[in-house]
């Protein structure tokens, strides 16, 4: 047990960083269907409550990983059984501003800022075939990285909305690293801690979105959004995560619950796909030629009350088709109000 006591910690860090450290900042399971489009002028306050849970990590072939073999030096190495759970809660407040004035061509301008606060709970049971088992639990609530979108432009027609935006993620969140020495060898590895909330690098994000309304009352919406990410270098380790593309889609229907249409029910289907489109780089990067991907689909429900300029929306998404990342489920409840 003493010989391999530190190895499970390294394996845990490696698995978790593949899902929470090298995947990029943009979480495609966070936005609601209508969140991609610039709203009517005013100040808006929103709060997102995001929950992610998974007990399945998939390899590059889409197969669940049940064991990992590690060989840090001479000898046959050791094979570890893996049983990992990841539960992450994130609180995301947002302050959004859309001025009254318009730009040439009828384009509207908006901007928003969104800090994050997260609780990561990571539990993993890793047992060597030749040693006793070892169980690890990590849990922490702390500040995450900050997202700012200073450029957001929207245009509306009778049957269409479109939007273009640029934003960036600033690495202000809790981020620490550990240096692990393999017993009996000269090998040391510096790895981000498994329970980090921040990711330790800057990200530039570009996003474009299009909504189609088949009828002029705009009660029915078909929406698509494409988001691209380009990342900077990770702090304290020589890793630069590869670029990513995310596709969000949604179909939404508003139904009046009162004859004066002051109370509306929203029913929708939504989902996303996300792909890594360039290699990770740096001397500490692992499997740089393997690109991860994931897909998800689910339901969205919401209530809007016009006299209060307020709404509450929730959605559930189930992930599938994972490659080189965790595959799980997402639940979200968001509250918003215009002032």
Check residue 174 and give its pLDDT: 87
Taking alpha carbons only, the member of 291, 296, 298 closest to residue 328 is 296
Tell me the C-alpha distance between 35 and 57, whole Å: 30
pLDDT score, position 8: 42
pLDDT at 48: 96
Q: Tens of pLDDT along the chain (339 residues)?
A: 233 334 444 444 444 444 333 678 999 999 999 999 999 999 999 999 999 999 888 888 888 887 766 555 555 666 667 777 888 899 999 999 999 999 998 999 999 999 999 887 766 665 554 444 456 666 778 899 999 999 999 999 999 999 999 999 999 998 888 776 655 666 666 677 767 788 899 999 999 999 999 998 999 999 999 999 999 999 888 889 899 999 999 999 999 999 999 999 999 999 999 999 998 888 877 777 788 899 999 999 999 999 999 999 999 999 999 998 889 999 999 999 999
Residue 139: predicted pLDDT: 73
Q: How high is the pLDDT of residue 13?
A: 46
Q: For residues 33 and 19, what is the distance between their CA atoms, to the nearest angstrom?
A: 24
pLDDT of residue 52: 93
What's the longest Cα–Cα distance across the chain? 76
Both structure tokens of 259: 């004859």
pTM of the model as a whole = 0.86
Residues 6+ apart with CB under 8 A from 267: 252, 253, 255, 300, 301
At residue 7, the pLDDT reads: 40
| DSSP codes of every residue in 23-78 | S-S--TTSS-GGGGS--SSEEEEEEEEEEEEEEEEE-TTSPBP-EEEE--SSS--E
pLDDT, position 141: 84
């Amino acid at each position: 047990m003493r010989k391999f006591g530190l190895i499970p910690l390294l394996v845990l860090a490696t698995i978790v960083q593949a899902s929470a450290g090298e995947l990029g900042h943009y979480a495609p399971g966070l936005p609601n269907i209508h969140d991609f489009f610039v709203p009517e002028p005013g100040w808006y306050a929103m709060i997102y409550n995001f929950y992610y849970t998974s007990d399945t990590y998939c390899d590059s072939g889409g197969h669940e990983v049940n064991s990992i073999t590690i060989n840090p030096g001479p000898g046959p190495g050791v094979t570890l059984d893996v049983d990992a759970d990841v539960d992450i809660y994130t609180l995301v407040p947002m302050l959004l501003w859309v001025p009254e004035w318009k730009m040439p061509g009828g384009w509207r301008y908006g901007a928003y800022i969104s800090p994050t606060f997260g609780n990561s709970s990571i539990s993993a049971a890793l047992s060597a075939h030749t040693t006793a088992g070892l169980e690890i639990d990590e849990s922490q609530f702390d500040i995450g990285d900050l997202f700012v979108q200073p450029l957001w432009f929207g245009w509306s027609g009778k049957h269409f909305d479109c939007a273009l935006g640029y934003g960036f993620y600033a690495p202000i969140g809790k981020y620490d690293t550990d240096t692990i020495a393999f017993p009996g060898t000269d090998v040391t590895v510096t790895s981000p801690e498994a329970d980090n909330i921040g990711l330790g690098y800057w990200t530039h994000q570009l996003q474009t979105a299009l909504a189609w309304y088949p009828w002029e009352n705009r009660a029915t919406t078909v929406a698509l959004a494409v988001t691209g990410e380009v990342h900077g270098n990770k702090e304290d380790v020589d890793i630069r995560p590869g670029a990513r593309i995310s596709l969000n889609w949604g179909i939404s229907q508003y139904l009046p619950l009162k004859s004066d249409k002051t109370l509306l029910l929203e029913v929708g289907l939504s989902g996303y796909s996300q792909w890594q489109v360039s290699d990770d780089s740096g001397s500490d990067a692992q499997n740089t030629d393997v690109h991860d991907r994931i897909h998800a689909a689910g339901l969205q429900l919401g209530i809007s009350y016009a006299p209060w300029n307020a709404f509450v929306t929730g959605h559930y998404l189930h992930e599938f088709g994972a490659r080189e990342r965790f595959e799980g489920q997402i639940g979200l409840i968001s509250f918003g109000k215009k002032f």
